[in-house]
Amino acid sequence: PAVPALRSLERGTQHLKNAPKDVAAWAALGVHYVGQARITGDPSWYAKAQGAVAESLRLNRTTNFLGYAGEAILANARHDFRDAETAARKGIAINGYNSTLYGALGDALTQLGRYDEAAAAIDKMNTLLPGIPAFTRASYVFELRGDVAGSRRALDRALTDATGPSDRAFTEYYLGD
């Protein structure tokens, strides 16, 4: 499974008050905070994300692949791509079937200019859990290789899968671009 989504910050923090050792919830809260930073443009959310992800990993570094996914997503958001790669690979060593980890790895490798390795990570992500996150990343891989038609096919596939207005808008924006 992907990193579990929280319905709201309030529900997530309330859950953690009742279950403070829930490593998956701490990781999900961290990812949610990264999303808030992206939406609001307010980097103070990164410190909150760091705290939540650190707590997840403090509680369990051995089998907590979701904590490493959160760490990789946060590192990518901060443009710490080497740290993102390291965290994603640690998570993959624990659970090689988590698409979120392969997405984070692919993002980091793309930004590090290691395009063939990034493409392999995104291919694995698409194999594990095809969907908007995987298709849009595949579109970027195609674009980087100069394959505009392939890029468009991947985005068309993402648009077909889009169910909510934000997913449709995201995909239509990149199709227009």
151 CB burial (10 A radius; 0-12, 13-18, 19+):
buried
At residue 2, the pLDDT reads 46
How far out from the chain centre does Cα 29 lie? 13
Answer yes or no: are the C-beta atoms of 113 and 90 closer than 8 Å. no
Cα separation, 138 vs 19, in Å, equals 37
> 70 near 52, Cβ under 8 Å?
yes
Helix axis angle, 81-94 to 65-77, nearest 10°: 160
Amino acid of residue 34? V
Tell me the per-residue pLDDT of 56-97, one tens digit each, with 9 for 90 and over. 999 999 999 999 999 999 999 999 999 999 999 999 999 999
pLDDT range class, residue 1, cuts 50, 70, 90: very low
pLDDT at 128: 97
Q: Are the CB atoms for 24 and 16 separated by under 8 Å?
A: no
pLDDT at 138: 96
pLDDT digits (tens, 9 = 90+) for 24-44: 999 999 999 999 898 889 999
170 vs 137, which has greater pLDDT?
Answer: 137
Q: Is this prediction's pTM over 0.85?
A: yes
Q: Across all residues in the chain, what is the average pLDDT?
A: 93
What crossing angle do the helices spanning 132-144 and 115-128 adopt, rounded to 10°? 150
Contact criterion met (CB below 8 Å) for 72 and 88:
yes
